[in-house]
Structure formats: structure tokens, C-alpha cells
Amino acid sequence: MSSKAVSPSNTSKSKPKRSSGSGAEGSTSNSDLQMDMNTPTGRVWSEIMDQCTTDGSFNQQDLREFLKNKIGFAEGEMFRGTKIKGGAEGIFKELDLNKDGKVDWAEMSGLSSQLVETLVPGAADGSMDEADIRQLADQHFNSVAGAQDGRLTLGELKASIMKELPADTSHRSLTAQLAARMAIAAIDSNESDKAVGNRTISKEEWIKSALEMARSIRE
């Protein structure tokens, strides 16, 4: 997730429909509000929508609840409420393109551009082909992951993001933490029963997510 992601009457809840498969018939686009919950952006969307009571969109308060309850942002830290508020404001500003105070799926798709920069720096413009993305994602994972078992931890990902942030970035450590937590929530596909701080990412998940997000950017 890029550093710009954090610049410091009730209706029944409805989730987007799960796509029926892969390929042309099962694929989704930004215009039809359908999505595959097993894609990186889909996983984050689903987690946020679990926090809200509106149909088809979420607001900034819903996003705060996601940061607090779902990914454990700033857990155990002083002034946590202020940090969550600032993080939510930064992310929401980037996603709410029409400035109507809500983010729908079409706008949420913009998260792919931010997340893919974490996996393959430079891929957000959609110009790389899949072979290059696969190769660069593999190389970047190897440079970030320090664990012997080949899985990437939250601490390792945060440290990597910290190195890539400009030295004058405001709240640099907090920015890196939020980006890392968001990325793990999006990329990890088989440890959702664990707290984000205890989840890890495999190379396979890393590369697959990079390819999926790059495709969504090009569509």
C-alpha cells in the first residue's frame, strides 16, 4: 500500500454478490458492483461492510470501526482514537472520489492501485505485463521476507514500507503500520481467523495478489 493512503434510517446490511468463477463469465468490472470476495480488494471491502448497516457503500465512521476492530490499528498505543481518526480520514480522502461522504465499490476499486505498490513498486500505472509483475513481485517478496519459513510477517512488511517512505513523511512509523496492516488484511487468504498482527503472507499469496490487482487496474 502506498504512503499516500494515509496522509495523516437503517437498512438491512447487504454485501456485493460473489462472482461465480474466473474468466469472462465470472469476472467483474468497476461498473456492475459485483466482486469476488477472494480478491485482495474484495477481502477488505467485505471486512468493512461487516461494520456498517448501509447497502452498497460505507462512510468514514465505518472505516474507523474497521481500523479499530478488524485490523487492530494502533492497538495498545496512546492516543489510539486520534490515530484511528487520522488514518481513516487519509484513506477516505483517497477513495471518496466524488466527495459525497460515501465509498461504493466503484470507488473502492481504487484501493488496488495503492495496494499493488506495496507488492510491486511502480506497477500502479498499469503499464507492466503479467510476466514482469510476476518476476518483480517474486523479487520484492524475497527482499522483504526475512523468515526462514518463507512467510512474511507484519513486522517485516512494516519495516520494508518504512524504508520506502520519504524521510520527511509525517508520522512515518504510523503510516507504515497502517499500510502494512491493510496489506495483510487484503493479501492473506487463509489465516482470517487470526488477529492481523499474527497473520503471515506466503510468496504464492503475494504474487497472486499482485497479478489480481494489476488486472483490476487495467480493466
Distances (CA, A) of 84 to 13, 136, 171, 174, 175: 24, 32, 13, 10, 11
pLDDT band at 147 (very low <50, low <70, confident <90, very high): low
pLDDT band at 4 (very low <50, low <70, confident <90, very high): very low
Q: Quick check: helix, strand or coil at residue 18?
A: strand
Supply the pLDDT for residue 194: 95
Residues in the chain: 219
Lowest mean pLDDT among 23-32, 125-134, 192-201: 23-32
Percent of the chain with pLDDT strictly greater than 90: 65
Mean pLDDT, the chain, rounded, equals 84
- Cell numbers representing residue 84 in the block: 484511528
Residue 158 near residue 144 (C-beta atoms within 8 A): no
pLDDT higher than 60, residue 32? no
Supply the pLDDT for residue 158: 95
Supply the pLDDT for residue 126: 85
pLDDT higher than 80, residue 121? yes
Residue 179 near residue 6 (C-beta atoms within 8 A): yes
Percent of the chain with pLDDT strictly greater than 70: 83
Comparing C-alpha atoms, which of 192, 162, 217, 208 is closest to residue 50? 192
pLDDT higher than 60, residue 3? no
State pTM to two decimals.
Answer: 0.83
pLDDT in tens, 10-19: 333 334 433 3
Residue 104 near residue 57 (C-beta atoms within 8 A): yes
Q: Mean pLDDT over residues 73-93, rounded?
A: 97
Which alpha helices (DSSP H) does the chain contain, by range? Answer: 23-26, 40-49, 60-65, 80-95, 105-108, 111-119, 130-144, 154-164, 172-187, 203-218
pLDDT higher than 50, residue 29? no
pLDDT in tens, 90-108: 999 999 999 999 999 999 9
Backbone angles phi, psi at 103, to 5 degrees: -120, 120
